[in-house]
Amino acid sequence: MYLRHVGWVGDVEGHGGDAIDCAQVARLLVADGATDDLVPLRGKLHRCAFAKARSGARYQNGFWCFAGCVHDGRTLPDRSVASRVMSAPTELAKTYVPADAEPDVTSRWLAANAFHVEPAEVVDGQVADDGRAAYSIVIPPPNVTAALHLGHALNNTLQDVLTRYHRMKGDRTLWMPGTDHAGIATQTVVEKRLLSDGIKRLDMGRDAFISKTQEWKDEYEAVILDQLQTMGASCDWDRTRFTMDDMCATAVRHAFFELFKDGLIYRGKRLVNWDPVTRTALSDDEVEMEEVEGHMWYLTYPLADGSGSVTVATTRPETMLGDTAVAVNPEDPLAAAVRGKEIVLPIVGRTIPIVEDDYVVMADPDGDAKAQYASGFLKVTPAHDPNDWDIGLRHDLDVINIMGPDGSISDQHGWEDISDEARAFVGLSREDARTAVVDWFEANGLLAEVRDYTHSVGHSYRSHVPIEPWLSDQWYVAVTDDKLRGSALRAQDPTQTPDLPDGVSPRADSTGDGGLRFHPDRYARTYYAWHDNIRDWCISRQLWWGHQIPVWTQLVSVADASPEVSAALEGAELDVASQVTSSWTSAGAAHLARLVTPTEIEEAVCVPPQSTLSRLDRADAALDEPGLVAALEAAGYVRDPDVLDTWFSSGLWPLSTMGWPWAEDFDGAAGLLETFNPTSLLTTAREIITLWVSRMVMFNRYFRGGDLPFQDVFIHAMIQDGHGQKMSKSLGNGVDPRDIIHSHGADAMRFSLVQMTTDTQDLRMPVDMICPHTGETFTPTFVKTPAGHDVAAAIQDSPGGDGRQMVSPFGAASGEVAPNDEMPLARNTSTKFDIGRNFANKVWNASRFALGSLEDDHSGRPPVDLTSARFIDRWIVARLAETIASLEQAVDGYHFNTYADTLYHFVWDDFCDNYLEAIKPTIRDDADQQVVLGAVLDAVLRLMHPVCPFVTEALWPNVSAARSGSIAGLELPPSDLLALAAWPVLDPSLVDAGAVASFERANELASQIRRLRGERLVKPKQRITIHVDAAVGELIAATDGFVETLAGVGTVADASAGDLPTVSSAIAFEGSQVVVSDLTEAVDIDAEKDRLDKVIADLEKQIANFEGRLANEGYVNNAKPHLVQETRDQLVAAQADLTASIAARTAID
């Protein structure tokens, strides 16, 4: 006994009760002798539910249908179909059920370790040529903060399509998987979770917190890797990396050491984007600009000589405590009166200069928004505003920091001239200080005006509070150096960005120059523009989770400095570091010193990893890394507590995952770099072109002699929800790919995503929900968030109308509501994926049909010579050839949607609708045709595999087993696994252009006949008779039954042979009349007249159009000759059809 049909019973599994799986139910039924009974199909079903459903089910269309049946208090959805137990052991289920096939396919791949690849043989640092090209992709490592969403699914599907395609093409193909520790993001999530249990990070201590975070990481890394496998990613799982594992950590340590040693890493007091909540410096890219409705305050500052006052305009009055100048534009008429004067700063009592700087916007009530709000005088606070910092540098102003790391007013961080009046403000939060300062000015009659003012303010992308420009010590990478920025720009393909900015050395023939291409190419300009304005990269983060900076520092007074340090700093400027040669350097470390004040020196010693240390040629080789660290600490050096910016380690990803710099230290890593770096492609979203792509290019080129990290960059579209909003974690409108896989299957998701991937920027995905109570799909209720976004309400009512409720994925993601038994979590779905599901089912059924026709063994026979094959066989092979060529072109150009569309129409239209239909009358008795069918089906599965790996792999054993024989000129070597099978290769001589042309004509005739049948509502089984002239008769004969089969023609009669039937209709085809009879007993004369009149009118319109075009001298003289000729031919054809139609019409009257 065997389960023939597998339908489904909706999503009733996993919601409590004693579920049993369908196979078990089937066995029970079979044991009962209930062979003609139903079995539940998909996944699991409640025992009681099953029994009740059975009683209410209807038998319909050969199936038992549970649609609308109420059981266990639930109404089964429309598609709830169960099936009969059949006694046909080899047949496949009637419907493709992804949930049944996917786990099995995945385990076959994993068992075979199908995606593992060994690097090429490397001799003397060179890859030995064995005729195989290398193809490699490193995965953009997902953050271990949360599960993957649809954007990841899209990105990874595209990578998998390319990976599988190249693997089938015979390339040595590596897709390197891994995850990113995502410093700030992960630490924030973990801190939040701990805080909800009342635990504070600072109370736990660093080690305990890190191990807690490690647990979180392990959990989410497992989820992510499982998601990737569930969606079919063919990564080399043996090589799975993590940005903080030993291999990557070694790379990070080594890279840092090299840059430090080369003077490209430095430390200095700089204004950073400070997040006072997470107490962390953010890079510019981590700051989000938000429009804020605030005020512009106008403060009056008295002149020191008592001759009057000036009024400054500010949005941040609290920072006035740190003002060290007032600036005015030298062009401003107001400037003359105050030139050379000084101000006494209110509250503080500090005397500060008035400086002239053309940065200052002059007041102009009719000017732009800024000028309208300007007063002409600008308070200058170098320690608390980046623009003021620049003004300060130009005018050599004092820098007075008045805030602590928490953003409160403080006199402990560089504010020394504090007055008694000002002391009252110390300790206030920046918000309270703002109010207090404004109040003070008002109370003292110095507040000139307050106006409402909307402006954009930088906010932390983590804590969402306004960032504070704040003065602190940070580590920087000098990316503005030509060796980094210049190299990133020179990497660009000159056809995409021909000119380089000033200060960048020109491209040379050096390795990697000009080799980086963006797709679509507009993104080359995004990359370029960013580097044009790049600033040095702040890489220190005040976090615990990450790579701790491998530098030990110590402050010493100038008087106590060691002789080596003093010597190194001889004549050095303040804040400029010098290399020191010391006992540390002879042990292999790098040693820098700089004057931080005229009397204080900061020494910094960078320790390389042990693996680097052991390879250095150094004087004191006895000290290993732990020994060196111990010695440093004994000498009073303290390790910098900060960690590196996450992008520092991800910037090394294409190197670190391949074992750089010491691959031989790690099992299986030797040779990876030589074989696979530069990688072939990076696919990513456009928002990280700057954050990530740029850094990988700079690092890879710097450390690998100019080699690029990858040759091509493909930027994919961003998925938006049904309201045109970006799907994002913070909005909570993301969709878990597992939800889509659950409702549609992995292939359906993949195919649909690939089919949506055009080179546009955005794609919209309206999302529905599945009710966990009833299994129904419904459109959720949306609400507006305070920020104005449309999101699904956290709690949704069951569409059943029975008062039951559920939690929407948004509700769960936003933390608004936690799902429970009463209110379970709903899954998302989207009808956008129907196309993929239907397609997977189509190929499944086409295979079922074909397999049923491939019962004979032809393996002993010589290869089929296609030139003597039937017309339809020659045609399908010609179409196969065209399809293979189109697919290859599409993949090579990253035209993913073209790949999907080409595949879809070849499989559905050509293979199923035309070929399979056409061969039905002959396939049983035609051995050659069986060979062709088997070969084409085999090829179809291969071509589909990169996009739909599961359904094709699931079918593969059956198809491999059933097909036999071969076609001369079509190479389809056997393989146990489809994933490892070869891409089809077809001899171009097999393309019969004549067959393709004849097919077009015959198909047009068949379509016209079907159209007539459709209009007449002719029964499908009704065989009709057509009466044709000699030319059409020849076409019908040449196409070997195609027209008869596809148009339901029983008899083809010679129109010239005798009397035409009186009851008939006529079609104009290629200028002749095709008379159709035996449609029905009686032809409706009036309907026939109307139909022909419509055809005639339509042809007349066309003819007028063609004649008009040909009467236009401009067209005839200027258009390309072949186009003019084409129009002439069309005119002639239309005229002939018109004549034929008129003749038919006349005959009726």
Q: Using CB under 7 A, which residues numbered 837 to 866 contact RNA? A: 837-838, 840-842, 845-846, 848-849, 852
- The single residue among 763, 812, 1110, 1142 that binds RNA, judged by CB under 7 A, is 763
Task: Name residues contacting RNA, limited to 519-578 (CB under 7 A).
Answer: 522, 525-526, 529-530, 533
Give the three-class secondary structure for 857.
Answer: coil
Residue 1037's contacts (CB-CB under 8 Å, 6 or more residues apart) are: none
| Secondary structure E strands in 315-368 | 325-328, 342-344, 351-356
Which residue is associated with the tokens 């111990």? 630
Task: Name residues contacting RNA, limited to 720-749 (CB under 7 A).
Answer: 720, 722, 724-726
Which x/- pattern over 283-312 shows residues binding RNA (rule: CB under 7 A)? -xx-x-x-----------------------
Task: Name residues contacting RNA, limited to 409-468 (CB under 7 A).
Answer: 456
Nearer to RNA, 35 or 1112 (CB): 1112
Task: Name residues contacting RNA, limited to 1051-1110 (CB under 7 A).
Answer: 1098, 1102, 1105-1106
DSSP, residue by residue, 1122-1136 = HHHHHHHHHHHHHHH
Nearer to RNA, 198 or 1121 (CB): 1121
Nearest approach in angstroms of CB 464 to RNA is 14
Nearest approach in angstroms of CB 1124 to RNA is 9
Instruction: Write phi, then psi, for 911 (nearest 5 degrees).
Output: -75, -50
- The single residue among 171, 834, 1100, 1107 that binds RNA, judged by CB under 7 A, is 834
Nearest approach in angstroms of CB 837 to RNA is 4
Nearest approach in angstroms of CB 752 to RNA is 9
Task: Name residues contacting RNA, limited to 30-89 (CB under 7 A).
Answer: 61-62, 79, 81
Task: Name residues contacting RNA, limited to 114-133 (CB under 7 A).
Answer: none
- The single residue among 351, 581, 1112, 1125 that binds RNA, judged by CB under 7 A, is 1112
Which x/- pattern over 678-707 shows residues binding RNA (rule: CB under 7 A)? --------xx--x-----------------
* Dist. CA 161–CA 180, nearest whole Å: 23
Nearest approach in angstroms of CB 1138 to RNA is 11
Is residue 958 a contact residue for RNA (CB under 7 A)?
no
Nearer to RNA, 461 or 666 (CB): 461
Nearest approach in angstroms of CB 174 to RNA is 31
Nearest approach in angstroms of CB 715 to RNA is 10
Nearer to RNA, 408 or 883 (CB): 883
Instruction: Write phi, then psi, for 981 (nearest 5 degrees).
Output: -80, 160
- The single residue among 95, 774, 883, 1045 that binds RNA, judged by CB under 7 A, is 95
Is residue 501 a contact residue for RNA (CB under 7 A)?
no
Nearest approach in angstroms of CB 218 to RNA is 30
Nearest approach in angstroms of CB 743 to RNA is 10
Nearer to RNA, 533 or 868 (CB): 533
Nearest approach in angstroms of CB 410 to RNA is 28
Is residue 882 a contact residue for RNA (CB under 7 A)?
no
Please give the radius of gyration of the chain, using alpha carbons only, rounded to the nearest integer.
38
DSSP one-letter code for 923: G
* Dist. CA 787–CA 1031, nearest whole Å: 71
Nearer to RNA, 53 or 1055 (CB): 53
Give the three-class secondary structure for 808.
Answer: coil
Instruction: Write phi, then psi, for 904 (nearest 5 degrees).
Output: -60, -50
Which x/- pattern over 909-928 shows residues binding RNA (rule: CB under 7 A)? ---xx--xx-----------
Select from 495, 460, 28 the least CA-distant residue to 284.
Answer: 460
How many other CB atoms sit within 10 Å of the CB of residue 828?
25
Nearer to RNA, 387 or 711 (CB): 387
Is residue 347 a contact residue for RNA (CB under 7 A)?
no
Which x/- pattern over 781-820 shows residues binding RNA (rule: CB under 7 A)? ----------------------------------------
Give the three-class secondary structure for 587.
Answer: coil
* Dist. CA 143–CA 688, nearest whole Å: 13
Q: Are strands 122-123 and 790-792 parallel, antiparallel or unpaired?
A: unpaired
Task: Name residues contacting RNA, limited to 972-1031 (CB under 7 A).
Answer: 1007, 1010-1011, 1013-1015, 1017, 1019-1021
Nearer to RNA, 718 or 1038 (CB): 718
Peptide bond into 1121 cis (omega under 30): no
Residue 121's contacts (CB-CB under 8 Å, 6 or more residues apart) are: 127, 128, 130, 671
Task: Name residues contacting RNA, limited to 370-409 (CB under 7 A).
Answer: none
- Residue 275 contacts residue 183 (beta carbons within 8 Å): no
DSSP one-letter code for 856: S
- Residue 713 contacts residue 519 (beta carbons within 8 Å): yes
* Dist. CA 942–CA 955, nearest whole Å: 11
- Residue 96 contacts residue 841 (beta carbons within 8 Å): yes
Nearest approach in angstroms of CB 610 to RNA is 38
Nearer to RNA, 358 or 417 (CB): 358
Instruction: Write phi, then psi, for 164 (nearest 5 degrees).
Output: -65, -40
Nearest approach in angstroms of CB 185 to RNA is 16
Instruction: Write phi, then psi, for 579 (nearest 5 degrees).
Output: -75, 140
Nearest approach in angstroms of CB 459 to RNA is 12
Helix spans in 231-374 (H): 246-261, 335-338, 369-373
- Residue 29 contacts residue 22 (beta carbons within 8 Å): no
Count of residues near RNA by CB under 7 A: 86
Q: Which one-letter amino acid corresponds to residue 333?
A: P
Nearest approach in angstroms of CB 350 to RNA is 29
Nearer to RNA, 447 or 903 (CB): 903
Nearest approach in angstroms of CB 520 to RNA is 8
Torsion of CA 754, 759, 761, 762, to 10 degrees: -30
For residue 229, count CB atoms less than 10 angstroms from its CB and return exposed for 0-12, middle for 13-18, buried for 19 or more: buried
Q: How many CA atoms lie within 13 A of 898 on its CB side?
A: 14
- The single residue among 47, 279, 395, 764 that binds RNA, judged by CB under 7 A, is 764
Nearest approach in angstroms of CB 678 to RNA is 25
How many other CB atoms sit within 10 Å of the CB of residue 59?
10
For residue 20, count CB atoms less than 10 angstroms from its CB and return exposed for 0-12, middle for 13-18, buried for 19 or more: middle
Helix spans in 277-398 (H): 335-338, 369-373, 386-395
Which x/- pattern over 814-833 shows residues binding RNA (rule: CB under 7 A)? -----------------xx-
Nearest approach in angstroms of CB 909 to RNA is 8
Select from 675, 708, 662 the least CA-distant residue to 248.
Answer: 662
- Residue 676 contacts residue 658 (beta carbons within 8 Å): yes
Which x/- pattern over 160-199 shows residues binding RNA (rule: CB under 7 A)? ----------------------------------------
- The single residue among 111, 1114, 1121, 1146 that binds RNA, judged by CB under 7 A, is 1114
Give the three-class secondary structure for 789.
Answer: coil
For residue 1102, count CB atoms less than 10 angstroms from its CB and return exposed for 0-12, middle for 13-18, buried for 19 or more: middle
> Which stretch, 350-358, 374-382, 758-766, 954-962, contacts RNA (CB under 7 A)?
758-766
Nearer to RNA, 153 or 756 (CB): 756
* Dist. CA 1023–CA 151, nearest whole Å: 52
